[in-house]
């Protein structure tokens, strides 16, 4: 019965921490780039094509770009100037490269928090890594929802994160790898403080 309660706790805490990590990652991205988006001429052209404000969606695309997930760009009219798979972070010329650290850091923190809260003996690296990896349970669903939320309708096609890479990289690989590493780092920090 203890194992079941422990596993249940890890699942719930992992899901909550994963969702919190995704939301925090988006908010940090928003704070870091919203001024640049508002001043960018390409963003203004996209808003004209979409016929509405797209700041929210552009931040989302940049957040996915920070996970190494490119945006699918429809290839008609002025959009042919962009690659079919476009990464706005890389195309920016370096001023927003810090965004690549955002998902890594929030997932490391979330994985460490889950492991610290749910694992009684953090010195067992396997347990700490498994607990930290539970953040995938909250992160993955928000990545999938974001595929629809951050889609920008441009008339004859939509600009959106590439679905396959988004689910595989942003939804699964990032939270499993960095959440687990965060759990192990929490175990290492715990053993060093004793």
pLDDT at 82: 64
> What is each CA distance from 191 to 122, 135, 180, 185, in whole angstroms?
8, 22, 17, 10
Render each residue's pLDDT in the chain as its tens digit; 194 residues.
345 677 788 899 999 999 999 999 999 999 999 888 888 777 777 777 667 778 899 899 999 999 999 988 876 555 555 667 777 787 766 667 889 999 999 999 999 999 998 877 666 788 889 999 999 999 999 999 999 999 988 777 788 999 999 999 999 999 999 999 999 999 887 766 65
pLDDT at 1: 39
Domain that holds residue 160: 2-193
pLDDT value at position 191? Answer: 67
User: How many structural domains does the chain have?
Assistant: 1
């Amino acid at each position: 019965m203890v194992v079941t309660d422990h596993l249940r706790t890890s699942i719930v805490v992992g899901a909550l921490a994963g969702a919190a990590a995704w939301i925090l990652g988006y908010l940090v991205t928003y704070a870091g780039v919203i001024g640049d988006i508002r001043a960018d001429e390409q963003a203004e052209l996209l808003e004209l094509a979409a016929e509405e404000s797209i700041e929210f969606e552009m931040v989302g695309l940049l957040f996915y770009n920070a996970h190494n997930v490119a945006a699918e760009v429809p290839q008609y009219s002025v959009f042919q100037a962009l690659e079919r798979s476009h990464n706005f972070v890389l195309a920016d010329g370096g001023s927003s490269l810090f965004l690549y650290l955002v998902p890594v850091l929030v997932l490391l923190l979330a994985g460490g928090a889950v492991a610290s809260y749910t694992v009684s003996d953090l010195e067992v690296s396997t347990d700490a890594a498994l607990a930290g990896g539970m953040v995938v349970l909250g992160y993955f669903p928000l990545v999938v929802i974001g595929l629809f939320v951050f889609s920008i309708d441009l008339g004859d096609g939509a600009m959106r994160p590439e679905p396959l890479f988004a689910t595989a990289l942003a939804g699964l690989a990032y939270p499993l790898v960095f959440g687990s590493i965060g759990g192990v780092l929490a175990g290492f920090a715990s053993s060093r403080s004793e």
